[in-house]
Amino acid sequence: MLGHTSRHVTSLTHMYSNFIITSIVVEIWFKCAAECPYFVFESALQLISHLIAVFPCSKYVTEEGQRIVGGVLIGTGLWIAVTFVMRNVLKYLLSWHGWMFNRHGSLSLTTKIWLVLVKVCSGPKPMLYSFQNSIPRLPVPPIKDTVRRYLESARPLMDDEQYKRMEGLAKDFEKNLGPKLQWYLKLKSWWASNYVSDWWEEYIYLRGRGPIMVNSNYYAMDFLYVIPTTRQAARAGNSIHAIMMYRRKLDRAQIKPLMVLNTIPMCSSQYERMFNTSRVPGVETDVLQHMNESKHIAVYHKGRFFKVWLFYDGRLLLPREIEQQIERILADKSEPHPGEELLAALTAGDRDPWAKARSQFFSRGKNKQSLDSVEKAAFFVTLDDTEQRYDPENSVQSLDSYGKSLLHGKCYDRWFDKSFNLIVFKNGTMGLNAEHSWADAPIVGHLWEHVLSSDPVRLGYTEDGHCKGNPHPNLPGPQRLQWDIPEEGQAVINSSLKVAKALADDVDMHIIPFNDFGKGLIKKCKTSPDGFIQIALQLAHFRDKGKFCLTYEASMTRLFREGRTETVRSCTTQTCDFVRAMMNDKATKLKLLKVAAEKHQDLYRLAMTGKGIDRHLFCLYLVSKYLGEDSAFLKEVLSEPWRLSTSQTPLQQVDLFDIKRHPEYVTSGGGFGPVADDGYGVSYIILGEDLINFHISSKHSSPETDSHRFGSNIRQAMLDMLDLFQFDNKASNK
């Protein structure tokens, strides 16, 4: 879910040396292309006014007509000028981030005035991409600052000797190699719309050669306590329809851009490749293939692949009609072709064998056609033949199995390369599995919120659990995809499956709906909920493993154009002090907790405003590789493992859900696989005032970890921390 540097560092060694020059040329070209419409439009206007001056049109047009033409021209010119000015003023305003440093819950006068100005310049009803040209570029922070922040973050994790050594390396880097690398990076940042994102996508995701299943793909889960229908086909009917309605809104840019405080826009560029997209394996690097046209989906059921057209008679199929198509697939009793059943295991195993097999066996004839149908589909749907749901009688085991199924399934029943898979289980529960390179989790979360809020409420079901409406009398059925996979091809599939299976079986997944308390009570403690949870994770981790570890928390940098994520290193000297005080039951616990929470907030704000540590160092490292310069400092920093990797899934469209009255009609969040072999992955979602869901993962093969043990440590840590406040409240009441 996060994009971890250490995972793919090895792939960085394959690189082109003249890359920087090429990328600069390409950037200049793109920049010109992007600015072009203005330029063209303005010159056209000038030309027209010249023409009018040179050839008096009075001969052909009445004076009235001339006045109208003149008025229209001046009006248009004025409108363009105003838009242009507004946009640039907005851009200027948005490069200020002082608003973020207000104390929690109160806004300074400056911020208030600034917010009004931003609102005025934003116009009344922004569309998805309205702000794209006003969003500022991510600045490159000074090396000195990044190194200082790095050392500060490393301090609690090193003993004095290690730290001294690291400090030496860092200072040397800052003085010698650093400035040179920084110079190249600055150069890139002047031309590129974002100095990190293209490299991030390429080196963290696309060049990774290991399996993307579990390691990179992540999932989103259904409602926990509600099952709107137990008919698999009906659930698929409504949700596929809802997804297509979302796509239509997206095509028309009718989605409201994400805005902080309802005013400050976040970059929307990650939405662009949500649909019609597949990751395509290559020998050195994969590529993202995005189609501008795609009117069908690909469906997998019991070893067979189907192509289902979603349009008929020039319109989108209605839910009941999609249900009808799905029913036909469920009723189809044909056998899989040789190799077909396990085919998708290719997308779950290592990338190189898949790339080779793809060009060897799938580049001709019907195999190519069928593969095209899958890769060029709007998205992928699995009609899973297992049942997964939250079972109150067996809550732990049922949720763990549900999570694992969404994360990896049987390794051959999801097309992991597809931008996302909709998985509908036998009894009508569902979920998503998303590929990570094209966007980060909040984007998929946005889609998922739309689907879950449309499905049971707006679209609804009939009493007997079907989609509303009627089946179509003469809708052509789904098309079974044809494959002719030779023995050698099947052997590759089998060996990919073996690799994937070992990985999947090793995942120790645990999901906790934590309902002892939630955001409501945490806010009463005057702490940010995220900070509170992060500190609880630190406490839980220390109790779990008896030590601190480098901790990754994903934050967004979408306040900047094409921004993706930045790491908050949320294990700090302050959290360690607090944890030690808890372990030794010191009287200063509460005070230290507040200090730690404050520090965490501070780091989070820095990360969001482009003053993080890890993306900058990552880019410097890449530059050093391009230049063939070795930096011991960068190498060490980039290879430190993240043994605790965390991410909050934000609920974005709160107004879609009535959390107060129907708290059960809300997604239960999502999760991702373990990042380090002996570490934990934790994803959490804060739902309403009283519920927090944790999705915890680790590997069975590590003797150091146990997701269930960590889960109970998290629960205990949350409760213990809350206790501190209640004691405090009682004390201050007296």
Ligand X SMILES: *[C@@H]1O[C@H](CO)[C@@H](O)[C@H](O)[C@H]1NC(C)=O
Residue 293 or residue 313: which is nearer to ligand X going by CB? 293
Residue 276 binds to ligand X (criterion: CB under 6 A):
yes
Q: What is the C-alpha to C-alpha distance for residues 668 and 406, in angstroms, rounded to an integer?
A: 13
Residue 505 binds to ligand X (criterion: CB under 6 A):
no
From 291-299, 405-413, 588-596, 693-701, give the range in contact with ligand X by CB under 6 A: 291-299
Residue 335 binds to ligand X (criterion: CB under 6 A):
no
- Would you put residue 171 in left (φ > 0), alpha (ψ -120 to 50) or beta? alpha
Residue 489 or residue 669: which is nearer to ligand X going by CB? 489
From 88-96, 254-262, 487-495, 694-702, give the range in contact with ligand X by CB under 6 A: 487-495
Q: Taking the complex as a whole, how short is the minimal distance between the CB of residue 269 and ligand X, in angstroms?
A: 12
Residue 289 binds to ligand X (criterion: CB under 6 A):
no
Residue 427 binds to ligand X (criterion: CB under 6 A):
yes
Q: What is the C-alpha to C-alpha distance for residues 316 and 598, in angstroms, rounded to an integer?
A: 51
Helix (H) or strand (E) holding 699: strand 691-699
Q: Taking the complex as a whole, how short is the minimal distance between the CB of residue 533 and ligand X, in angstroms?
A: 31
Site string (66-105) toward ligand X, x via CB under 6 A: ----------------------------------------
Instruction: Please say whether the beta carbons of 565 and 668 come within 8 A.
Output: no
Rounded to a whole number of angstroms, the CA Rg of the chain reads 27
Site string (438-477) toward ligand X, x via CB under 6 A: ----------------------------------------
Q: What is the C-alpha to C-alpha distance for residues 624 and 177, in angstroms, rounded to an integer?
A: 9
From 349-357, 490-498, 649-657, 667-675, give the range in contact with ligand X by CB under 6 A: 490-498
Residue 296 binds to ligand X (criterion: CB under 6 A):
no
Instruction: Please say whether the beta carbons of 468 and 255 come within 8 A.
Output: no
Residue 205 or residue 275: which is nearer to ligand X going by CB? 275
Q: Taking the complex as a whole, how short is the minimal distance between the CB of residue 491 and ligand X, in angstroms?
A: 4
Question: Which residue, among 677, 639, 500, has the nearest Cα to 12 in the 3D structure?
Answer: 639
From 188-196, 292-300, 507-515, 597-605, give the range in contact with ligand X by CB under 6 A: 292-300
Q: Which of 490, 653, 712, 716 binds ligand X (CB under 6 A)?
A: 490
Residue 548 binds to ligand X (criterion: CB under 6 A):
no
- Structure tokens, 191: 């031309």
Q: Taking the complex as a whole, how short is the minimal distance between the CB of residue 192 and ligand X, in angstroms?
A: 23
Q: Taking the complex as a whole, how short is the minimal distance between the CB of residue 487 and ligand X, in angstroms?
A: 5
Q: What is the C-alpha to C-alpha distance for residues 699 and 538, in angstroms, rounded to an integer?
A: 19
Residue 4 or residue 301: which is nearer to ligand X going by CB? 301
* Contact residues for 163 (Cβ-Cβ < 8 A; gap 6+): 151, 154, 155
Taking CB atoms within 8 Å and a gap of at least 24, the contacts of 139-142 are: 139/189, 139/610, 140/182, 140/185, 140/186, 140/189, 140/195, 140/616, 140/619, 141/610, 141/611, 141/612, 141/616, 142/182
Site string (222-241) toward ligand X, x via CB under 6 A: --------x-----------
Question: Which residue, among 260, 258, 301, 255, has the nearest Cα to 275 in the 3D structure?
Answer: 255
Q: 172 exposed, middle or buried (CB, 10 Å; 0-12, 13-18, 19+)? A: middle
Residue 171 or residue 295: which is nearer to ligand X going by CB? 295
Q: Taking the complex as a whole, how short is the minimal distance between the CB of residue 131 and ligand X, in angstroms?
A: 19
- Structure tokens, 181: 């690398």
Label the pairing between strands 691-699 and 507-514.
antiparallel
Residue 9 or residue 330: which is nearer to ligand X going by CB? 330
Residue 560 binds to ligand X (criterion: CB under 6 A):
no
Q: Taking the complex as a whole, how short is the minimal distance between the CB of residue 217 and ligand X, in angstroms?
A: 20
From 152-160, 322-330, 483-491, 657-665, give the range in contact with ligand X by CB under 6 A: 483-491
* Contact residues for 635 (Cβ-Cβ < 8 A; gap 6+): 621
Instruction: Please say whether the beta carbons of 76 and 49 come within 8 A.
Output: no
Question: Which residue, among 565, 525, 509, 546, has the nearest Cα to 694 in the 3D structure?
Answer: 509
Residue 294 binds to ligand X (criterion: CB under 6 A):
yes
Reported in sequence order, the residue ranges of 384-429 that DSSP labels E, i.e. its strands, are: 420-424
Determine the straight-line distance between the first and last CA of the chain, rounded to whole angstroms: 47
Q: If you write DSSP's letter for every residue of 682-698 in order, what string do you get?
A: EEEEEETTTEEEEEEEE
Q: What is the C-alpha to C-alpha distance for residues 711 and 399, in angstroms, rounded to an integer?
A: 13
Assign 3-class secondary structure to 30-42.
HHHHHHHHHHHHH
Site for ligand X in 387-416 (CB under 6 A): 387, 389
Residue 251 or residue 630: which is nearer to ligand X going by CB? 251
Residue 260: HSE in the Cβ half-sphere, 13 Å Cα cutoff: 17
Instruction: Please say whether the beta carbons of 714 and 537 come within 8 A.
Output: yes
- What DSSP character marks residue 482? P
* DSSP-based three-state secondary structure for 599: helix
Q: Taking the complex as a whole, how short is the minimal distance between the CB of residue 472 and ligand X, in angstroms?
A: 20
Residue 203 or residue 246: which is nearer to ligand X going by CB? 246
Q: Taking the complex as a whole, how short is the minimal distance between the CB of residue 293 and ligand X, in angstroms?
A: 4
Residue 489 or residue 563: which is nearer to ligand X going by CB? 489
Residue 712 binds to ligand X (criterion: CB under 6 A):
no
Size of the site for ligand X (CB under 6 A): 16
- Residue 276 dihedral angles phi and psi, to the nearest 5°: 55, 35
Residue 292 binds to ligand X (criterion: CB under 6 A):
yes
Q: Taking the complex as a whole, how short is the minimal distance between the CB of residue 342 and ligand X, in angstroms?
A: 7
Residue 491 binds to ligand X (criterion: CB under 6 A):
yes
From 59-67, 486-494, 552-560, 628-636, give the range in contact with ligand X by CB under 6 A: 486-494
Q: Which of 251, 516, 630, 723 binds ligand X (CB under 6 A)?
A: 251
Q: Taking the complex as a whole, how short is the minimal distance between the CB of residue 511 and ligand X, in angstroms?
A: 17
Q: Taking the complex as a whole, how short is the minimal distance between the CB of residue 368 and ligand X, in angstroms?
A: 17
Residue 462 or residue 729: which is nearer to ligand X going by CB? 462
> How many H-runs (helices) and E-runs (strands) does the chain carry?
21, 20
Compute the residue count for the chain. Answer: 734
Residue 63 binds to ligand X (criterion: CB under 6 A):
no
Question: Which residue, among 378, 392, 353, 362, has the nearest Cα to 247 in the 3D structure?
Answer: 378
Q: Which amino acid is at 102?
A: N
From 153-161, 293-301, 470-478, 513-521, give the range in contact with ligand X by CB under 6 A: 293-301
Residue 293 binds to ligand X (criterion: CB under 6 A):
yes
From 176-184, 325-333, 363-371, 489-497, give the range in contact with ligand X by CB under 6 A: 489-497
Alpha helix (H) ranges present in 332-482?
351-361, 365-375, 395-407, 441-453
- Structure tokens, 134: 């006003």
Q: Taking the complex as a whole, how short is the minimal distance between the CB of residue 274 and ligand X, in angstroms?
A: 6
Catalytic residues: 436
Q: Which of 295, 472, 635, 715 binds ligand X (CB under 6 A)?
A: 295
* DSSP-based three-state secondary structure for 374: helix
- What DSSP character marks residue 552? E
Residue 68 or residue 491: which is nearer to ligand X going by CB? 491
From 11-19, 104-112, 289-297, 556-564, give the range in contact with ligand X by CB under 6 A: 289-297
Residue 91 or residue 295: which is nearer to ligand X going by CB? 295
Q: Which residues bind ligand X (CB under 6 A)?
A: 230, 250-251, 275-276, 292-295, 387, 389, 427, 487, 490-491, 494
